[in-house]
Structure 1
């Protein structure tokens, strides 16, 4: 019985490890897209609009990659609604952190990077609640 329990824990750990690994790939790719759009838009608009534009483009990429690659699922009304809800919370967190960093004197080029370092792990936990349901 104990051996079976250890085997189940090991299998669950492996599954969770690879899910976190795939999320890291997804998060990195979408963050790079987000940051690239932010930098491009920053050349002709303010930080809030630039960040929002980058977030919007990153969001679309993120939904597809998170659904198919990270959690190996299929799109549904339920996970799309949960994804949108978690990203509303995430966007508010990120825009608040962005302005906090800007207010403290961090450059407008570095602030989004610091925001993503804080927000990406929080977003993973929120999305895990959306895509992983306990029976």
Structure 2
């Protein structure tokens, strides 16, 4: 699978792996730390793995120091939404701490893809100017 659709599918697969890594670490760390500390620590560790998987598998480009340092920007929205969602689900809606992070993560995925693509691949070139039909024929 190539092109944009292939990238989206590969990003989804990396997301599934990343979510599994995050969730496993969250549950493990939750045995020792409060749930928000476990969440933040697991999130950061999973993000490092996600960067390398996205470079090699999703976008098929070598990692660089620049994109590694910028990659957390692609997760800021994800982090804010999942953290706020986790807090709201656990504190206000009394959702189980074991299920809440999975529910909170779903909303941020499309935003993360768009920003990750920009960070890892760089900005797309300038778009060609639009030309009206009558200008093309003159």
TM-score (structure 2 length as normaliser): 0.80
Aligned-pair Cα RMSD in Å = 1.8
1:84 aligns with 2:100: no
Runs of 4+ in 1 over 4 A off after TM superposition: none
**Gapped regions of structure 2 (runs ≥ 5):** 126-138
| Distance in structure 2 (CA, Å) of the matches to 1:51 and 1:76 | 27
Judging by fraction of residues, say which structure has more helix: 1
| Distance in structure 1 (CA, Å) of the matches to 2:81 and 2:69 | 18
* TM-aligned CA deviation for residue 14 of structure 1: 5.0
1:27-106 aligned at under 5 Å gives the runs: 27-102=15-90, 103-106=92-95
Match of 2:97 in 1: 108
* TM-aligned CA deviation for residue 59 of structure 1: 0.9
Larger Rg belongs to: 2
* TM-aligned CA deviation for residue 90 of structure 1: 2.6
**Gapped regions of structure 1 (runs ≥ 5):** 1-12
| Distance in structure 1 (CA, Å) of the matches to 2:73 and 2:5 | 25
* TM-aligned CA deviation for residue 127 of structure 1: 0.9
TM-score (structure 1 length as normaliser): 0.82
